[in-house]
Structure 1
Amino acid sequence: MALGRTLAVALVGLSAHVVEVEAHLAASLPAFTLVGLPDAALAEARDRVRAAVSSSGLAWPNRRITVNLSPATLPKSGSGFDLAVAVATLAGAGIVDPARVRDVVHLGELGLDGRLRPVRGVLPAVAAAVAAGHHRVLVPDANLAEASLVPGADVTGAASLAAVAARYGADVEVPDLPAVTTGAVDPHVVAEPRDLADVLGQDEARHCLEVAAAGGHHLLMVGPPGTGKTMLAARLPGLLPDLDEQGSVEVTSVHSVAGTFDAGRGLVRRPPFEDPHHTATPASVVGGGSGVPRPGAASRAHRGVLFLDEAPEFATSVLQTLRQPLEHGEVVLHRAAGSARYPARFQLVLAANPCPCGRAVGKGLDCTCRSEQRRRYFSRLSGPLLDRVDLQVELHPARAAAQPGDPTTVVAARVAAARGAQAARLHGTPWRTNAEVPGGWLRERLGADRRVVADLDRAVERGTLSLRGVDRVLRVAWTLADLDGRPAPDRSDVGRALLLRTRGHGA
């Protein structure tokens, strides 16, 4: 009887757990058993490991091999355990030095030819290993740059199982195999600059975009085709400040798990931008999949922008699933194999036509839609969803002589100054922007003068504003004051915020 041990990491959402991989080799009929709640991809590791060991020129032990992934009650998924299973088996057979592999974390998928292939989620996995006191980590060469981003990690890369075995004392020739790349594409990197000055006219919409960027507010734009809704939404990330260190690690970890992270660019420093097509399913937007669910567009947009163009064309199920992340800033996905939590504190930007034909401008003389068609079309954006949107603006066709407004750099500077005022006011609290602050906290700082919120009281009495809406109007009012450089909002700020929320109706 022989026993080999090494370490791996199991990811459940963004939560990572260090797993001890034990390989028990008994003198009995040859067999290979993998236990410890593996999913289908992990259960197939026994075939990949056996083939990779043989292809690497190493002797496969003809014994009864039992591999246990401990803790056995924790669900485990994916092919990232392949390398650890192979190393533990070789250590149990005495082919590699058992003492040298015991405290090393091994991450990587094995090809049938023995090559090491990259896996998802290396950044949060290595960070969890270091936090648990295991600083020595071995990963595929393609994941080396990503793993090296974790402070305190002693990371080593390898191209093949033979190279790993030789490192631990095995007498094996290391083949010269072609490198395996991640193939990841960084979706939040814009290929060409998008300047706000490209949008001609639309002064009110540009102002709403600036307010949204300054306070982290959600935005709805309604207007006929060609008025610049998509252009404005695409330029919102350029107005947002760079991510801080914590936000950068969070965003990078999400994209690492999703498989969309390019480690060659380092940590993600700019707010991401996600714009799923209106045919997207709920699983693709909020996350899902078989086994342990993967992050969707809402989580990939964490600390950035989630843009839904032609929002009424999205399935109702997609729009309704956004209510939880809008309220709590995270997505909780429950499946039979386990649940996963992903951060999803994004800015939601919705764009919609005023009617199905899109020509209901002014008096709508060119519109061919019946009144019930218009109501049915826009009612797809439910009241509970719109109640969570802070800013609403109507766009009209720009005049031919419209002049360009301030460029992105100028507006971004004003946004940065407003964010700085919020940071000073919210220092020592768990909130970063006005959009995250509870209404009670903001009302306490307005003082006892009810005249400041008199317009809100009347709107609530008329039924045009909910109590949740009152809090959201106050958040926008504080953002308007921050943009103007004032320490607190006055009654005019509250009135302007109410108009921005109601598109000028019912205020």
Structure 2
Amino acid sequence: MELSVLYSRALCGLDAPLVQVETHLANGLPAFHIVGLPETAVRESKDRVRSAIINSHFEFPDRRITVNLAPADLPKEGGRFDLAIALGILTASGQLPVNDLALYEFLAELALDGSLRAVRGSVASAIAATTSGRRLVLAQESAGSAAQVPGSKIIAAADILTLCAHLNGRATLQSASPDNTLAAAAYPDMADVVGQTAARRAMEIAAAGGHNLLFCGPPGTGKTLLASRLPGILPPPRSREVLYGLALRDIEGLPTGTPNRLQRPFRSPHHSATATSLTGGGGSPRPGEISLAHGGVLFLDELPEFNRRCLESLREPMESGEITLTRTRRRVTYPARFQLVAAMNPCPCGFLGDPERSCRCRPEQVQRYRARLSGPLLDRIDLHVTVPRLPPSQLLSRTASAEASAPVQARVTRCREIQQARQGCSNAGLTSASLHSVCQLGKKETRHLSTAAQRMHLSARGLHRSLRVARTIADLEQQDTVSAPHLAEALAYRQQTE
């Protein structure tokens, strides 16, 4: 008997493994073999399946059982095969009719009493099952999240006995309903940020165009405070971003049952993070921080303290919006369209250029510190912003008030709608070919940009990114053309932290 357990081809890059079960008359003691590169958790399913079948009042065959997990060259892991193996045994032994089992996918771990337990990857599997036109059987705990996939047919079962009654036609399990207990997104508010007018302006531009952002300033000036407010001024995520974010968190084993799924992710790994934890990987490739930040913000505090190899691994995903992890037996591609926000001190002690405290660093120390960041990486960051120290009188002023996130988000959303209607993507996602048609410059603006690019020694990438930022500034002002003031402001963000 053949049953299948579906992985997501879209997110995991794997084919659908088949669970083939055969029973033979045993010569002596009955044996239960699982072949097809099973890992420890899969090999242990023999005991879970046997106990679940017996405790569900079925007969465990007194025969030699061989379970083949195909394809044979793909390592199998986890308890997701338990339910398919158990149903295969029941079908091969004649206790369960075949009927339309080929129309189903089975994905659940079995407890010893026969109840079904949730496993990782149910949302990604629901995406693939919907694409192939099959119904997906899951444990009740994961059915609500998987049912969020549009067009999916998810069946939630409490235990194997109830499921077999459904497959026999003696009872009916209803399709699971999507878990729609969604609450309004709750983000830290921009009203908490006192002063820092230039940094707030740069954040609005970054949010409006999807640009990467670097804050540089002494310790304690509010760089982290500012970065944590960026998700709150981004437009609400689109349904596809919500779905992919849910699938990625489910693959990683993070909670997916929270009522607030409309909140954009904000990932802030420590500077001791490894390259694998940032980009994903491992023996069985899992998504990393850049994929978990898909559709949201990846914040790297103390940027020069990160390992050089870790930072360089971000360069390709920052351009392509995805990460491909290649291993000996598999190749997995995860989405990774994140918005990078980084923060750094101007020098090792942090007080270079601070009017309040003198810097203790020697010039060669400052040079080595900044040399930890490669030119190609900095070239991919569109906005470089200095965050200065504010006087205590301004910080303690009771009359000081700042604009809240709501009106800023409204302006950003309107700007994104303009870009979506014009080119179908954010300004940061413009290709080089479409950039020139969207940002047609006059002779004066072309001469101004060319002169500034030569003086600032901008690369082709830096030039194009400055032009994208200028297009965003013009969109915020609802201007159809990019003028010289827009270019001047965009170019100023390329040299503030130099």
Asked if 1:284 is matched to 2:281, the reply is no
Matches within 5 A, 1:470-489: 470-489=463-482
8 Å CA contact retained: 1:11, 1:76: no
Matches within 5 A, 1:248-263: 248-263=242-257
* One of 194, 208, 213 as aligned partner of 1:219: 213
Moved more, 315-324 or 435-444: 435-444
What is aligned with 1:233? 227
What is aligned with 1:157? 156
What is aligned with 1:423? 420
1:139 alignment partner AA: L
What is aligned with 1:183? none
CA distance in 2, matches of 1:193, 1:388: 27
Q: CA deviation at 1:73?
A: 5.5
Any idea what the Cα deviations from partners look like across 1:297-341, whole Å, max 9, x if unmatched? 100000100001111111112111111111111111112231211
1:129/1:18 CA distance change after superposition, 3 Å: farther
8 Å CA contact retained: 1:140, 1:157: yes
What is aligned with 1:131? 131
Q: CA deviation at 1:459?
A: 3.9
What is aligned with 1:370? 362
Q: Could you tell me the percent identity over the aligned residues?
A: 41
Secondary structure of the residue that 1:242 maps to in structure 2? coil
Moved more, 215-224 or 488-497: 488-497
What is aligned with 2:66? 66
Q: CA deviation at 1:151?
A: 3.0
What is aligned with 2:404? 407
Any idea what the Cα deviations from partners look like across 1:350-376, whole Å, max 9, x if unmatched? 001111221223468522222222221
Secondary structure of the residue that 2:46 maps to in structure 1? helix
Asked if 1:383 is matched to 2:375, the reply is yes
1:307/1:504 CA distance change after superposition, 3 Å: closer
CA distance in 2, matches of 1:137, 1:363: 63
What is aligned with 1:178? none
Moved more, 472-481 or 110-119: 110-119
Asked if 1:8 is matched to 2:1, the reply is no
CA distance in 2, matches of 1:56, 1:375: 70
CA distance in 1, matches of 2:43, 2:155: 26
8 Å CA contact retained: 2:148, 2:243: no
* One of 291, 309, 318 as aligned partner of 1:326: 318
CA distance in 2, matches of 1:255, 1:19: 22
8 Å CA contact retained: 2:114, 2:161: yes
1:66 alignment partner AA: T
CA distance in 1, matches of 2:429, 2:169: 56
Task: Flag as ranges the 4+ runs of structure 1 deviating above 6 A.
Answer: 189-192
CA distance in 2, matches of 1:412, 1:296: 28
CA distance in 1, matches of 2:263, 2:357: 44
Q: CA deviation at 1:384?
A: 1.1
Secondary structure of the residue that 2:7 maps to in structure 1? strand
Secondary structure of the residue that 2:33 maps to in structure 1? strand
CA distance in 2, matches of 1:383, 1:163: 61
What is aligned with 1:23? 21
1:142 alignment partner AA: E
Secondary structure of the residue that 1:401 maps to in structure 2? helix
Q: For structure 1, list consecutive stretches of 5 or more residues without a partner in the other structure.
A: 172-188
* One of 429, 434, 439 as aligned partner of 2:427: 434
Q: For structure 2, list consecutive stretches of 5 or more residues without a partner in the other structure.
A: 171-182
Secondary structure of the residue that 1:369 maps to in structure 2? coil
8 Å CA contact retained: 1:439, 1:474: no
8 Å CA contact retained: 1:10, 1:77: no
1:264/1:363 CA distance change after superposition, 3 Å: closer
TM-score, L = length of structure 1 = 0.88
8 Å CA contact retained: 1:460, 1:467: no
1:331 alignment partner AA: I
* One of 334, 349, 355 as aligned partner of 1:342: 334
* One of 382, 385, 389 as aligned partner of 1:393: 385
